[in-house]
C-alpha cells in the first residue's frame, strides 16, 4: 500500500476478520454430513448417482427447463456445451466477463471474438454484434453478468438472422427471471456455475440446462466419455461429471434456497441504501420487477466525485479487511493469451475498458449484517473526505 493510502485512514483494520467477495455458503452442515454418510454407506460416489440425479431435477425445476445436465465445473459445462452445439472457427462473446467464458472456446480451438458491452449493466451489446459477424462466425455467447438477464430477445433476433447458435453463460444468474422469462430456458442452452464462491455451491460444479431433448442427450453422453451404453461410444467425450458429494452440498443448499436469497437481498438493500451517501459510488440496482438472487453487490466509481480512483478505494478497503474486488479487470481482450493474438493487440473496446477501470464488487451475502454495511459506508466516506482534503491542501 502506498503512503497516500496509509495517510487516509491508518490504525487497526475496521474488521478483525477479512470479508471476502464470494465467501462460500455452507448451509446446514449437519444435514450435509448426513447426506455424505449416506453416500459412503451406499458406496456410490459418482457416475449418475442418486444425489446428482435429484440435484439435476431440482435445478431443472428451479430454472423452469426440461433438462439439467450436471457437470464438474461451470467451465467444463461451457466447454462441453460449446462442442455439443458445434461451435467452430469464431464465436462472439463479451470481452467483459470472467476469463472462463473465453477460455472454454479457445481451449478447443474456437476463437472468441470480443464484443463491447452496454454501459448500464455491462452485458454484450446486441447492436455491436452484427459488424463482427463473418463467414467464420458460428455462434454467440451472452453472459448474464451480475445476475441480471441479457437482452435475450435482441440476441435471439441477431442469432436467427444469421443462422447462429446462441448460448448463455448464466454462471451468475441461477434463479433469475424477468418479464416472465426464466434464465435457463433462453437460447439453445444455458450454463450455470456452482463454484464455491456462488451463492448456491457444490464445492466445484456446473450444469448445462436446455429444453432441447436431442442436445440434452448429446450433453449427457459427452460429459461421460461419449458413452451411450456400456460398450458403445456414440460421441467424442470427456470426463465432465459431477460427483455425489458435490451434489449433496448442492441439495443441502437448495433446501435453504429462500433463506439464502433473502439474506443476499438484505445485504444488497443495505448497500443500495448506504452507498448514495458516499461521494462517487453508484450501485448497480436490481430492477423492481423480476426475480433475482442478489448475490452481486456491484458499484461504479466516479473518480471526479469521489476524489479516489477505483484502485485506491479497493486498497483502502483492503487495509480495513474488506476484500472488495475489481472484477473483471482488465477485460479478456487485454489478458495475455488474447492480447498476444494480433487481432486483439491494442484493441480498444471503449465501454469495456471504461467499465473494467471503474467497477468494484463488494463482499456481500449472509456474512455481513446491515450494520457492517454501515461501517463500510463510513470507511468510504472518511476516505473520500481525506482524499479531498489532501488534494485541496
Ligand atoms: N462464467 C462466469 C461469468 C463466471 O463468473 C465463472 C466463474 C465461470 C464462467 C466459470 O465457472 P466455474 O468453472 O468456476 O464453475 C472466482 C471463482 O473461482 C469463479 O468460479 C468465479 N466465476 C469468479 C468470478 O470468481 P477468483 O479467481 O476470483 O477466485 P478466488 O480464489 O480469488 O476467490 C474469490 C474470493 O472468495 C476470495 O476473496 C476468497 C474467497 N473464497 C474462495 C474460495 C474458493 C473463500 O472464502 N473460500 C473458498 O473456498 O475466481
pLDDT at residue 393 is higher than 90: no
Is the confidence at residue 129, as pLDDT, over 60?
Answer: yes
Q: Which fold has domain 3-19+257-324+363-392?
A: 3.90.1150
DSSP 102-125: HHHHHTTTPEEEEE-B-TTT--B-
CA distance from start to end of the chain? 22
pLDDT at 4: 47
Give the pairing of strands 281-283 and 111-115: unpaired
Residue 9: per-residue pLDDT: 64
pTM (whole model) above 0.85: yes
User: Which residues does residue 114 pair with via DSSP β-bridges, in sequence order?
Assistant: 93
Is the N-terminal amide bond of 214 cis, ω within 30° of 0?
Answer: no
How do residues 311-361 score in pLDDT, each as one tens digit? 999 999 999 999 999 999 999 999 999 999 988 888 889 999 999 999 999
Residue 100 main-chain phi, psi, to 5 deg: -60, -35
**Which residue's C-alpha comes closest to atom 5 of ligand 1?**
98
List the single range of 123-127, 192-196, 380-384, 386-390 with lowest mean pLDDT. Answer: 386-390
Mean pLDDT of 73-95: 98
197 lines ligand 1 (CB under 6 A): yes
| pLDDT for res 391 | 72
Separation of 193 CA from ligand 1 center, angstroms?
A: 10
Other C-beta atoms within 10 Å of 196: how many? 16
CB-count exposure of residue 37 (10 Å: 0-12, 13-18, 19+): exposed
**Closest residue CA from atom 15 of ligand 1:** 74
Give domain 29-254's CATH number out of 3.40.640.10, 3.40.50.150, 3.60.15.10, 1.10.10.60.
3.40.640.10
Residues 187 and 206: their CA atoms lie apart, in Å, by 18
Give the mutation target among 24, 191, 197 for probing the ligand 1 site: most ligand atoms within 8 A of CB.
Answer: 197
pLDDT the model gives residue 18 = 96
165-169 and 227-229: which strand pairing? Answer: unpaired
Which carries the bigger pLDDT value, residue 77 or residue 342? 77
Domain boundaries, the chain: 3-19+257-324+363-392, 29-254
> DSSP characters for 135-181?
TTEEEEEEE-GGG----HHHHHHHHHHTT-EEEEE-TT-TT-EETTE
Amino acid at each position: 500500500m502506498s503512503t497516500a493510502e496509509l495517510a487516509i485512514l491508518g490504525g487497526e483494520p475496521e474488521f478483525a476478520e477479512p470479508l471476502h467477495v464470494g465467501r462460500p455458503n455452507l448451509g446446514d452442515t449437519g444435514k450435509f454430513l448426513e447426506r455424505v454418510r449416506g453416500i459412503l454407506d451406499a458406496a456410490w460416489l459418482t457416475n449418475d448417482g442418486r444425489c446428482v440425479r435429484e440435484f439435476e431435477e431440482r435445478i431443472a425445476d428451479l430454472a423452469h427447463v426440461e433438462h439439467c445436465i450436471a457437470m464438474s465445473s461451470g467451465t467444463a459445462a461451457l466447454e462441453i456445451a460449446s462442442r455439443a452445439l458445434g461451435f467452430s472457427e469464431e464465436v462472439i462473446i463479451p470481452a467483459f466477463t470472467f476469463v472462463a467464458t473465453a477460455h472454454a472456446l479457445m481451449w478447443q480451438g474456437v476463437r472468441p471474438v470480443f464484443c463491447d458491452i452496454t454501459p448500464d449493466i455491462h452485458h454484450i451489446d446486441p447492436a455491436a454484434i452484427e459488424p463482427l459477424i463473418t463467414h467464420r462466425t458460428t455462434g454467440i455467447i451472452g453472459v448474464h453478468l451480475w445476475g441480471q438477464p441479457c437482452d435475450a430477445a435482441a440476441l435471439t433476433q441477431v442469432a436467427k438472422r444469421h443462422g447462429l447458435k446462441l448460448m448463455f453463460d448464466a454462471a451468475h444468474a441461477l434463479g433469475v427471471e424477468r418479464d416472465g422469462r426464466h434464465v435457463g430456458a433462453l437460447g439453445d442452452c444455458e450454463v450455470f456455475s456452482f463454484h464455491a464462491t456462488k451463492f448456491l455451491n457444490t464445492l466445484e460444479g456446473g450444469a448445462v440446462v436446455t429444453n432441447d431433448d436431442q442436445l440434452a442427450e448429446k450433453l449427457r453422453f459427452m460429459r461421460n466419455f461419449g458413452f451411450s451404453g456400456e460398450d458403445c461410444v456414440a460421441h467424442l467425450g470427456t470426463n465432465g461429471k459431477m460427483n455425489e458429494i458435490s451434489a449433496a452440498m448442492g441439495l443441502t443448499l437448495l433446501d435453504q434456497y429462500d433463506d439464502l436469497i433473502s439474506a443476499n437481498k438484505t445485504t444488497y438493500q443495505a448497500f443500495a441504501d448506504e452507498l448514495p451517501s458516499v461521494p462517487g459510488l453508484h450501485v448497480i440496482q436490481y430492477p423492481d420487477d423480476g426475480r433475482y438472487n442478489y448475490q452481486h453487490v456491484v458499484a461504479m466509481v466516479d473518480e471526479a466525485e469521489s476524489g479516489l480512483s477505483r484502485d485506491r478505494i479497493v486498497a483502502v478497503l483492503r487495509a480495513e479487511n474488506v476484500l472488495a474486488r475489481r472484477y473483471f479487470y482488465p477485460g479478456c481482450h487485454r489478458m495475455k493469451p488474447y492480447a498476444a493474438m494480433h487481432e486483439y493487440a491494442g484493441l480498444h473496446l471503449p465501454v469495456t475498458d471504461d467499465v473494467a477501470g471503474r467497477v468494484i464488487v463488494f463482499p456481500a451475502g449472509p456474512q455481513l449484517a446491515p450494520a457492517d454495511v454501515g461501517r463500510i459506508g463510513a470507511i468510504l466516506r472518511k476516505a473520500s473526505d481525506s482524499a479531498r482534503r489532501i488534494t485541496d491542501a
